[in-house]
Structure 1
Amino acid sequence: MTVAVTAWEFDAIGTRWRIDTAAPLDAATRDGVRGLIDGFDRAWSRFRSDSLVTALAVGGAAPAPPDAAAMLDLYVALDAATDGAVNPLVGDALARRGYDAGYGFTDLGPAPAPARWRELLSWDDDLRLTRPATIDVGAVGKGRLVDLVLAYLQGRTEGPIVVDASGDLALRGTTERIGLEHPYDPSRAIGVWQMTDAALCASAVNRRAWVGADGGGLHHVLDARTGAPVRAIAATWAVASDAMRADAAATALFFDGGPRFAHAHGIAWVRMTTDGRIEWSPGCTAELFL
């Protein structure tokens, strides 16, 4: 179903957003969306000097943000499915490879994230680190924020809504055909996925990529066990009822345990290997151009 929409585009959390609604959003609603995004970023961004994550990087405790349990509980499942490859304390390993708060892209070599992270990080009434470490919720955070924005808008506008945060997308009240961008040629798609009232999240090694100290390619998807970038998978796409779980699966699918995680959470997926092969989950409804 195609409906007339009004598009609102803006930049936030270092990426481009587009929100499509049946009618223009009023100023108060737009301010509310901006405030919601900024509040989430102030809590969870390791790129902000004034964030909670930055303050906790030296160790200590602070009242847990509202999203702590939802996101970090999901990290427990990600850690188990990927045998420790996905870990919320990977922030220092990313910064060491060059993906730091200043976007310096200076590679200092690999270093693993703390393997026993659940002994260091706790979340109940407080978010607590028992020793210095940097939290990075990149595997689930943008998806979670897309869900929050969608839920906020559902209470303030009628008709279909599409929230697209550059690779993390959720929609309600409409059916859309989403192109799956080829990771090595943005002018091409490897397929399309038609979805209704669902979320699709994608990740690829050609995004946020730079050159390492040895002249090799680096990117933002690291194996937390080694601090080295993944090499076997080039891109992933996951569809779920909510964007947070789709985002989690899109990250998990870079590792061997990703299909197991997706199956356990009822998530359909497609992924492309770095040698050009395409894999997909049982029951996947994407139309793939094989």
Structure 2
Amino acid sequence: MSVPAASWRFDAIGTPWRIDTSSPLDETAQAEVGAIVDSFDRAWSRFREDSIVTTLSRGGEAQAPPDAAAMLDAYVLLDAATSGAVNPLVGEALARRGYDAAYSFDDRGAVSAPANWRDLLQWDDGALRAEAGVTIDVGALGKGRLVDLVLDAVLPYSRGAAVVDAGGDLRVRGTTQRVALEHPYDTFRAIGVWTLGEGALCASAVNRRAWGDGLHHVLDARTGAPVRQYAATWVVAPDAMTADAVATALFFDGGPELAADWGAEWVRMRTDGSVEWSPRSEAELFL
């Protein structure tokens, strides 16, 4: 087993990244990673005027990004599992609460995401189509998907051992990591540690991307209101997109059932500080 010995740090898609490899990544490898990140961002960012998402918010059709089917098919299952709480057209609801392209943090009130989103957004035959006025947001699983893509890109340069960490979404190959589960109300504390070999660990918490009076990025798409029952989730799964998606679903009823269906293990903390975990979770919790 190789042990990553070199680190490369950079900022992208609004979060800090760290890639640990067995030897330093050369300019070719770094350029390849940069191209993957930029391509993904130009496709899916609702904060960029030149993105496919922004173009489609005006209505029409575009060539589907390579990730479209994998991610949007997963949203169909997320929607069903959470009774509509997770929805890829939650972008306008987030913008109305202040998490908009200008980062205004000006709360203009709650609005629900369209429950009939599958009528307003279609993907097939390499095309992505949307009705005017809807805004795609793939925050429930998009960063995890990008982590998977970046790991696949760096492995050939790192003799099969690497760790990719994008602000709480982590994928490991060929080594072992002990990951602290950060307390959502005290970032200097951990509620436990999870030892991760092959696979991914993704976390989500209401103290990240938070603003205003109790506003944060985890909205219930049915109401446009921030979730109040859970404060943080942690998920281990074979890949980061799955872990990221389940970490979002666990803020709602139906999340544990989806995790079981997708082979993911999890821990979540309620806003009252109590902790729940899946039956086969191997996290070491400090209870």
Task: State the TM-score, normalized to the length of structure 2.
Answer: 0.98
2:215 to 206, 218, 225: 218
Question: Partners of 1:72 and 1:148 in 2: how far apart?
Answer: 17
1:159: Cα distance to partner?
Answer: 4.0
The equivalent of 2:159 in structure 1 is 158
Aligned: 1:260 with 2:257? yes
Question: Map of 1:29-68 to 2, 5 A cutoff?
Answer: 29-68=29-68
Tell me the SS of whatever aligns to 1:36: helix
Q: Is the 8 A contact 2:4 2:161 kept in 1?
A: no
Q: Find the residue that maps to 2:50 and give its secondary structure.
A: coil
Number of the residue aligned with 1:287: 284
Equivalent residue, structure 2, for 1:130 = 131
Cα deviation, residue 223, structure 1: 0.2
Structure 2 unaligned regions, length at least 5: none
Within 1, Cα distance between the matches of 2:31 and 2:192?
36
Between 80-89 and 129-138, the greater mean CA deviation after superposition? 129-138
SS of structure 1 residue aligned to 2:157: coil
Counterpart amino acid of 1:264?
D
Per-residue Cα deviation, 1:230-267 (whole angstroms, up to 9, x for no partner)? 00000000000000000000000000111111111010
2:237 corresponds to: 240
Per the alignment, in what secondary structure is the counterpart of residue 186 of structure 1? strand
Supply the RMSD in Å over aligned alpha carbons. Answer: 1.0
1:2–1:175 contact (8 Å) kept in structure 2: no
* Helix, strand or coil at the partner of 1:194: strand
User: In structure 1, how many angstroms separate the alpha carbons of the residues matched to 2:131 and 2:46?
Assistant: 18
129-138 vs 276-285, greater mean Cα deviation: 129-138
Q: Distance in 1 between matches of 2:3 and 2:159?
A: 13
Give the match's secondary structure for 2:188.
Answer: strand
- With normalisation by structure 1, the TM-score equals 0.97
Q: Deviations over 1:160-210 (max 9, x none)?
A: 200000110001000111000000000000000001111000000001111
- Corresponding letter in the other structure for 1:152: A
1:99-110 aligned within 5 A: 99-110=99-110
| Kept after mapping to 2: 8 A contact 1:149/1:163 | yes
2:243 and 2:107 map into 1 onto residues whose CA distance is 30
SS at match of 2:266: strand
Q: Find runs of 4+ consecutive structure 1 residues off by over 4 angstroms.
A: none
Q: Counterpart of 1:62 in 2: which secondary structure? A: strand
Deviation for aligned residue 1:58: 1.1
